[in-house]
């Protein structure tokens, strides 16, 4: 490649970067100009899982357990469920027995209030509390394969069970905190979650469908990630997308936001592990 060709490729790269930048600005302008005064929380009878927004290929992948890549994590979680670990040499099954019975419906009510800390915790945090307190084992890092596998295995036992999160009166203030965060504009693009997921669902952004953000299938397999991921990972990705500082994994704000999202999905069936673009 001669000097002129290299210069052309370099300029093309710059132009492509500028195009992406201005496209993001255009999208931000479009969303910010959405009729916010007409926006409101989606009525319960109008709420739909992200599954309803997917194309036939993605739905087929989720529906077939032999084709759903998230099921590999579920199988790993099943093996971890019976594996003794920590200085206590205990397995999850030693306390909870057969997960098909003991864990049915559990994930559908998380995040749940934890008296020991005086606030709600996620299913991932519950798993790590059990490891620390009952197995005398080191907590698993957020987004680690083992934590995602255990979470997916537990949540999979609730597949088809209606979400009930947020029913506990002790959670009321935290649900309200999460709702405030959902409605709050942030970042350099000055956007709130509601601008996309209440005002503009059924549209597309960069070719991907905009859903109602009903978290029915987490942890889920995202084709963009080529792996399973938690709802916290998705929330942090959205925050980065609007050029805002993302909260740390496990931050009370992220837990409150997750709680609000689960509470507004109340009544929808669990799908873990879901598949999304």
Q: What is the pLDDT of residue 39?
A: 53
196 annotated as ligand-binding: yes
pLDDT, tens digit (0-9, with 9 covering 90-100), for 90-100: 999 999 999 99
Domain boundaries defined on the chain: 51-270
179 annotated as ligand-binding: no
In 3D, which of 41, 65, 61 has the Cα closest to residue 51? 61
96 annotated as ligand-binding: yes
197 annotated as ligand-binding: yes
234 annotated as ligand-binding: yes
185 annotated as ligand-binding: no
In 3D, which of 120, 126, 127 has the Cα closest to residue 150? 127
pLDDT, tens digit (0-9, with 9 covering 90-100), for 126-184: 999 999 999 999 999 999 999 999 999 999 999 999 999 999 999 999 999 999 999 99
Q: Which residue has the tokens 């997960």?
A: 99
Contact between 216 and 48 under an 8 Å Cβ cutoff? The reply is no
Which residues are catalytically annotated? 238
43: which DSSP letter? P
Q: What is the pLDDT of residue 192?
A: 97
| Sign of the C-alpha dihedral computed for residues 100, 223, 260 and 133 taken in this order | positive
Contact between 163 and 108 under an 8 Å Cβ cutoff? The reply is yes
Q: What is the pLDDT of residue 206?
A: 83
In 3D, which of 106, 114, 91, 186 has the Cα closest to residue 152? 106
Extract the residue ranges of the chain whose pLDDT is less than 50.
Answer: 1-27, 29-38
Quote the CATH superfamily of domain 51-270: Cytochrome c-like domain (1.10.760.10)
18 annotated as ligand-binding: no
The predicted model scores a pTM of 0.86
């Amino acid at each position: 490649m001669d000097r002129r060709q290299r210069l052309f490729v370099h300029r093309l790269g710059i132009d492509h970067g500028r195009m992406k930048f201005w496209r993001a600005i255009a999208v931000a302008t479009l969303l910010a100009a959405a009729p916010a005064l007409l926006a409101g929380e989606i009525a319960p009878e109008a709420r739909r899982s992200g599954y309803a927004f997917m194309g036939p290929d993605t739905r087929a992948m989720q529906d077939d357990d032999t084709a759903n890549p998230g099921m590999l994590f579920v199988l790993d979680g099943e093996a971890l469920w019976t594996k003794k670990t920590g200085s206590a040499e205990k397995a999850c099954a030693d306390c909870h027995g057969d997960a098909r019975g003991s864990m049915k419906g559990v994930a559908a009510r998380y995040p749940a209030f934890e008296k020991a800390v005086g606030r709600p915790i996620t299913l991932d945090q519950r798993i790590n509390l059990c490891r620390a307190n009952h197995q005398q084992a080191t907590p698993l890092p957020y987004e680690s394969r083992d934590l995602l596998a255990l979470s997916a295995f537990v949540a999979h036992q609730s597949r088809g069970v209606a979400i009930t999160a947020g029913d506990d009166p002790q959670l009321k203030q935290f649900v309200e905190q999460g709702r405030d965060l959902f409605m709050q504009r942030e970042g350099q693009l000055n956007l709130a979650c509601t601008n996309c997921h209440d005002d503009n669902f059924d549209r597309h952004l960069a070719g991907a469908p905009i859903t109602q953000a009903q978290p029915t299938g987490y942890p889920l397999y995202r084709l963009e990630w080529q792996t399973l991921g938690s709802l916290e990972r998705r929330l942090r990705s959205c925050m980065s997308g609007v050029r805002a500082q993302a909260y740390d994994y496990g931050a009370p704000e992220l837990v409150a936001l997750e709680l609000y999202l689960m509470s507004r999905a109340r009544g929808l069936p669990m799908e873990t592990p879901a598949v999304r673009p």
